[in-house]
Chains A and B, each alone.
Chain A
Amino acid sequence: MRYAMAIDTKKCVGCSDCVVACQTENNIPHGYARDWISETVQGTYPGLHLEIRSERCNHCNNTPCVRTCPTGASHIIDGGIVKVTPEECIGCGACIESCPYDARYVHPEGYVDKCTFCDHRISNGQDPACVSVCPTHCMYFGDLDDPNSQVSKVIAVRNIKVLAPEAGTQPQIFYLV
């Protein structure tokens, strides 16, 4: 099993519903976020190219955060989901420094927090909160090892890109372009 997400940059309008849904679902403290919207504008007027992305932890295959964690608080669970055990985390910040996507932050209670792919929801057969609320249905979630999952199907037919592939992390959030 290998959980992954595909996000359609052609459909995303940057409404931030995914951000709010995550904050509500996971009780994120005020002023923090596990996912966020990036808008990039490239080119010179009038040849401008706008891309809107909903970003979060990439649940990489090669995880620098798990590698640099001195206590083993950062770990990988079934399906390739990267998680942090708050009771083992000393809040040293090594994982934050090692993440090319800056996907982690220090929770006000002192441990490092990040996206969990809503593992408490997917174990009940539900989609992650961000995926389930998206009004444009631009996000697909599922098991990459299952050729019939939503994410496998959409990746098979669309052009995809990942963020900072040169960092060597093998990210598992695919952007449909």
Chain B
Amino acid sequence: MREELITSGRMNPNIDPILHVWHWSIPLYLFLGGLAAGLLFFAAFRTLTGDDKKYGTSVKIGPIIAFAAIVVGLMALLYDLNHPLYFWQLYTTIRIVSPMSWGAWTLLIMVPLNLIWIFSYLKEILPVNNIKINFLKKIISWVTVSSENITQNWEWKHKMVKDFEKFVQNNRKPWAWSIIILAVILGVYTGILLSAFNARPLWNTSILGPLFLTSGLSTGAALIMLITKDHNERRSYSKIDILLIIIELFFITHLFMGFQAGSQVNVEAAYYFLGGEFTVTFWVNVVILGLAIPAILEVLELLNFKVPIYVPGLLIIWGGLAFRFIMVDAGQVIRYLY
């Protein structure tokens, strides 16, 4: 057998013997970014189809969780930077060819749009009348006026704020259009970020974009399914999740088919998942626990079997998280050999 032995005298930390530049914070961020993209997508989608009254949780609560996810994700991202105080350099230039630049700018536009979305629903989400803590009451009284009439909601104190709220509420559709487009860009970008690196054979496939988007939508739908109290909404997202899982399985099949039909490095990259060291981790956590079992459970639920909803919901979220960790880790192990 022909063998090749390579000895390198370099030993740069984080690069030798295997690349380990990106640690836990990048996959965590990719997961949270995808989750936020999913939640915002459904909030905007329900508004665009005119079902925003019917699907209250996805329209009102979803964006709040999405905002929290983006904040935590960005903190993880900042923690990962080696020069964190220079992060503003991202906003001194727009680089069309760099996915990371796309992501940075998308988030910069997405976060305020998301916050204003939450703001426009604040009266419905938080009836502030009930707040008991004096300190909070005082802060709130600076910007709001509570109504004397118990049946009426509180009102903003300043006319400008009131007008702006009216403006957003009257323009929900354009608002939803911009959010839905940005959500798709955000979801795709979490995958394209990896596939732009042609040096890492496992990542260097454009299917990662749609795959990560689908996975993000699926975790978003799973989260809404977990928190909603409305039976119809839960059922609707259960159906959506089954569809998304099927698409995801289809994309994963294509991912490996593409590798198998690729060059030597791609075939070797696929082998890590088809017999190599990541085989069990990937197929058990991502495909069986994260996709197959939840899909079966949700089909059973639709057939009116009693299935505790948190089981498929949590499994899907676990699968999405594990998928990102495995892809980022494996991608850095697999490289060109020369």
Contacts and interface: CB of A to CB of B under 8 A. Distances in A.
Contacts of A99: 199
Contacts of B199: 64, 97-101, 167
Contacts of B10: 33, 36-37, 55
Contacts of A100: 198-199, 335-336
Interface in B289-338: 332, 335-336, 338
A110 B63 CA distance: 35
A79 interface: no
Interface residues of A, number: 49
B275 interface: no
Contact of B336 (A71, A97, A167): A167
Contacts, number: 154
A64 B90 CA distance: 18
Given A68-B196, A91-B83, A38 B89 contact: no
B21 A93 contact: yes
B197 A68 contact: yes
B281 interface: no
Interface in B1-32: 1-16, 19, 21-22
B105 to A, nearest CB: 9
Nearest to A50: B5
Interface stretch (A41-49, A139-147, A150-158): A41-49
A36 B11 CA distance: 9
A69 B98 contact: yes
B80 interface: yes
Interface of A: 14, 16, 19, 31-33, 36-44, 55, 64, 67-73, 87-94, 96-102, 105-106, 110-112, 163-164, 166-168
Interface of B: 1-16, 19, 21-22, 80-84, 86-87, 89-90, 92-93, 95, 97-101, 103-104, 196-200, 263, 265, 332, 335-336, 338
Given A38-B8, A38-B9, A92-B80, 11 more contacts: A14-B9, A19-B9, A32-B13, A36-B8, A36-B11, A68-B98, A71-B90, A92-B100, A102-B335, A110-B82, A110-B83
21 contacts: A16-B9, A19-B9, A31-B11, A32-B13, A33-B10, A36-B10, A39-B7, A40-B5, A44-B2, A68-B196, A69-B98, A70-B104, A88-B86, A90-B90, A96-B21, A97-B22, A99-B199, A101-B199, A102-B15, A112-B82, A166-B265
